[in-house]
Structure 1
Amino acid sequence: SAGANFVFARSRFFSDMAALLQKHARIPNYDALTATCQQPLPPLVIEGLELFNQGEYYKCHDALEAAWNEDQTAGRELYRGILQVGIAYYQIQRGNYRGAVKMLLRVRQWLDPLPDWCRGIHVAKLRQEAATVQEALTTLGADSVGSFDQQLFQPVEYKITN
């Protein structure tokens, strides 16, 4: 019921630590992120952002996922981050507390390495809004997710750049 797939003794965990870190740790290339964040938003991302901002969190997934699949630059993780914030909001709307918490925890790995603005998207604001939703959700708890204040779901702030 805790959501763990495996249980390891501390000695095994520490003996495998180097291999685990090498396999799973993500080390951002900040130079590549800075360069790619100067690029304009592709049309699919703009479509996904519009759907997100209309509260169509499930529908925005398709456009942002397609953009993520097409983009092979370091900046593609921006799309994954926005997509996962949208999925978290969708899970809250459905009353799926565990799914929402899981997405809100996961999204940090994609948004945290990004600069405050990337491709015209106000990433710092999105990070803060997702953190606010996460805090409100965990304070409310699983039994009260149905009464979550959805006014906390804010649109993604962005500007079209060339």
Structure 2
Amino acid sequence: MILLKKNIKLTKDFSEKDYFTSFSVPRGIKKISLLFSYSPDQVTDRSLFSQSVSEAIKKYYGEFDGKLDQLKVENFDTIKNLLTISLDCNGRFIGNRHKWESNQTIEISKNKVTPGFISPHMIEGEWGVTIHCHQIFTELVNVELKVVGEYDEVACG
């Protein structure tokens, strides 16, 4: 059963901000699978990220300025848009997935969960999904979010 399906367009203005959406899980659902993907994930146009990389080098490595060859903007051929995801159930934090992967599946049931999450007391209820937009270098990032709920299998006698 599809509980949520969204195609979201996030602009670079969402950098360092969160996008929130929610869905309801009806009684009887025993497992949810959240499919989260976004594109583009890799950025190769240096003009889109050189200023941000330069500022980060100065902020985090200022004392090494000019001394570490690998810390030069021209040494960065590719950089990634970075979006991560966290979940809550009935107002209780369930976990987060801070991974570089642009295609992820998160599975949650009372008996088994994807690493980074905890089993909720119950699956039924109001769920929140927060997409953390750590950095978006491109003008637009397309996000696909889908949540599927599975009922318990019932054996026929």
What TM-score, normalized by structure 1, do the two folds share?
A: 0.23
Larger helix fraction of residues: 1
Larger radius of gyration: 2
> Which of 1 and 2 has higher RCO (CA within 8 Å, sep 6+)?
2
Larger strand fraction of residues: 2
